[in-house]
């Protein structure tokens, strides 16, 4: 990899402490202390994710101490077949903003149900994506990864697999736990011109945990792709229905 000295969003986030499970509607729990990261989190609130911005969806609320992806401001729905990519990405990004402001790890919880995505989900530093044991995320476009470690560059662009920094700071301190990741492939549609992309990918990161989940129904070269990660924990992960052409 060519050396890239660009200062990333991940570089600016301090290591986080324990997760607190509190309701962000209770303002007494919100962090009011000004930090050096306030200016950056304010500027990042205007970044577009696909067609809408986090500002449009969540009102630039960077004071969450816990997020449920089905809350109205995010709108993920595990009981229908509508696409939940935007809702899940908005919840993950709101968690990243809140983590940067508070210095805490912020959990994004996905309740029981089936959630459909047609594009990659981005997980950032100091965030924890936790699926209920009865939750499934199902991919509808097999040409896209399902989940990738990412950060925001200073020019506000999302940087993940394509911008492979040296070192271990692309994402620092992230967890993915629980539920099932369904790659959307079967033995009947694997092979020939049809191959799926990775389900979970982390590159040039540190302090990453992947645990207590199932990944499967894919036809990828790598189901879980780990590249240049320091301090990695993989525990109780079930690989199921990996099809080979």
Examine the pLDDT at 122 and tell me if it is beyond 80: yes
DSSP 8-state class, residue 197 = P
**Is 60 exceeded by the pLDDT of residue 173?**
yes
Q: Which tens digit of pLDDT belongs to each residue from 131-158?
A: 999 999 999 998 889 999 988 776 667 7
Check pLDDT > 60 for residue 189.
yes
Give the pLDDT confidence of 205-239 residue by residue, as tens digits: 999 999 999 999 888 778 899 989 999 999 999 99
Q: pLDDT at position 167, please?
A: 82
Tokens of 92: 């993950």
Predicted pLDDT at 31: 34
pLDDT at 166: 73
Break the chain down into helix, strand, coil percent, rounded to 5: 15, 35, 50
List Cα–Cα distances, 189 to 100, 108, 183, 217, 223, in angstroms: 42, 33, 12, 11, 16
Average pLDDT for 108-132 = 97
- Statement: residue 33 has pLDDT above 80: no
Q: Tell me whether strands 48-49 and 52-53 are parallel, antiparallel or unpaired.
A: antiparallel
């Amino acid at each position: 990899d060519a050396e890239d000295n660009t200062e990333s969003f991940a570089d600016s986030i301090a290591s986080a402490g324990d997760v607190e499970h509190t309701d962000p509607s209770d303002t007494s729990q919100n962090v009011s202390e000004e930090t050096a990261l306030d200016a950056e989190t304010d500027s990042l609130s205007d970044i577009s994710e696909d067609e809408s911005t986090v500002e449009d969806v969540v009102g630039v609320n960077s004071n969450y101490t816990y997020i449920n992806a089905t809350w109205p401001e995010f709108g993920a729905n595990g009981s229908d077949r509508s696409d939940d990519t935007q809702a899940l990405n908005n919840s993950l990004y709101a968690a990243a903003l809140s983590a940067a402001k508070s210095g805490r790890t912020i959990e994004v919880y996905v309740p029981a149900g089936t959630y459909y995505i047609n594009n990659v989900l981005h997980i950032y530093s100091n965030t924890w994506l936790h699926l209920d044991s009865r939750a499934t995320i199902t991919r509808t476009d097999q040409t896209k990864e399902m989940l990738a470690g990412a950060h925001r560059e200073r020019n506000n662009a999302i940087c993940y697999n394509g911008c492979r920094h040296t070192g271990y700071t692309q994402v620092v301190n992230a967890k993915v736990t629980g539920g099932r990741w369904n790659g959307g492939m079967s033995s009947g549609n694997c092979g020939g011109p049809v191959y799926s992309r990775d389900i979970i990918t982390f590159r040039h990161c540190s302090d990453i945990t992947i645990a207590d989940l199932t990944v499967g129904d894919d036809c990828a070269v790598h189901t879980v792709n780990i590249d240049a990660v320091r301090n990695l924990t993989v525990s109780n992960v079930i690989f199921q229905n990996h099809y080979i052409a």
